[in-house]
Amino acid sequence: MINENRRRILDIMKLLFEKTDEEHWITTEQIRDELEQMGYDRPNRKTLDPNIQFLIEDMGLDIEKERGVSNRYRWVSRDFELAELKLLVDAVQSSRFISDGRSREIIRKLKGLTSEAMGDQLDRKVLTSNSFKRENSSVLYSIDAINEAIRNRKKVSFQMVDYDVDMNEVLRYDGRVHEVSPYALIWNNDYYYMLGMHSGEDKVRVYRVDRMKNTAVSEVAADKQPNDFKPEKYSSKVFDMFGGEPAEIRLECQPYIMNYLIDRFGKEFRVLEKKADGSFIADVVVEESPTFFSWVFQFGGDAKIIGPDKTREQFMKLVNAFK
**SS3 for 28-62, per residue?**
HHHHHHHHHHCCCCCCCHHHHHHHHHHHHHHCCCC
Determine how β-strand 154-163 pairs with β-strand 63-66.
unpaired
Total count of domains within the chain: 3
Query: Taking phi first (over 0 means left), then psi (-120 to 50 degrees means alpha), and beta for anything else, what does residue 206 get?
Result: beta
- Is the predicted pLDDT of residue 241 greater than 50, yes or no? no
Are residues 216 and 254 both part of a single domain? no
Of 27-31, 106-110, 114-118, 294-298, which range is least confident? 294-298
113 in a domain, yes or no?
Answer: no
Q: Which residues are paired to 63 by β-bridges?
A: 75
- Is the predicted pLDDT of residue 236 greater than 60, yes or no? no
98 in a domain, yes or no?
Answer: no
Residue 66 confidence (pLDDT)? 92
Q: Stretch 16-26: mean pLDDT, rounded? A: 95
The pLDDT tens digits of the residues spanning 156-189 come to: 999 999 988 898 889 998 899 999 999 999 887 7
Are residues 227 and 143 both part of a single domain? yes
Domain boundary among 75, 92, 121: 75
In angstroms, the CA 295 to CA 263 distance is 12
Average pLDDT, the chain: 87
The pLDDT tens digits of the residues spanning 211-227 come to: 999 999 999 999 999 98
Are residues 232 and 253 both part of a single domain? no
In angstroms, the CA 211 to CA 213 distance is 7
- Sign of the CA dihedral 122, 268, 289, 97? positive
Residue 239 confidence (pLDDT)? 43
132 band by pLDDT with thresholds 50, 70 and 90 = low
* Residues 198/157, Cβ–Cβ less than 8 Å: no
Are residues 230 and 302 both part of a single domain? no
Domain boundary among 170, 205, 237: 237
166 in a domain, yes or no?
Answer: yes
Domain boundary among 50, 75, 100: 75
In angstroms, the CA 193 to CA 196 distance is 10
Are residues 170 and 202 both part of a single domain? yes
**Bond before 308 cis per omega within 30 degrees:** yes
Compute φ and ψ for 174, nearest 5 degrees. Answer: 55, 30
303 in a domain, yes or no?
Answer: yes
In angstroms, the CA 61 to CA 84 distance is 21
Between residues 227 and 137, the one the model is more confident about: 227
Q: Stretch 260-278: mean pLDDT, rounded? A: 88
Residue 68 confidence (pLDDT)? 86
Are residues 144 and 226 both part of a single domain? yes
pTM: predicted TM-score of the whole model, two decimal places: 0.63
142 in a domain, yes or no?
Answer: yes
Are residues 224 and 251 both part of a single domain? no
Supply the range of the domain harboring residue 309: 245-321
In angstroms, the CA 214 to CA 211 distance is 10
Q: What percent of the chain has pLDDT over 90?
A: 52
Are residues 224 and 266 both part of a single domain? no
Q: Stretch 290-307: mean pLDDT, rounded? A: 89
* Residues 266/96, Cβ–Cβ less than 8 Å: yes
133 band by pLDDT with thresholds 50, 70 and 90 = low
C-alpha distance from residue 182 to each of 225, 228, 239 (Å): 9, 15, 22
| CATH number of the domain bearing residue 252 | 3.30.70.240
14 in a domain, yes or no?
Answer: yes
Q: Which residues are paired to 157 by β-bridges?
A: 179, 216
The pLDDT tens digits of the residues spanning 188-202 come to: 777 888 999 998 888
Angle at Cα 233 formed by Cα 141 and Cα 96, nearest 5°? 35
Are residues 174 and 196 both part of a single domain? yes
282 band by pLDDT with thresholds 50, 70 and 90 = very high
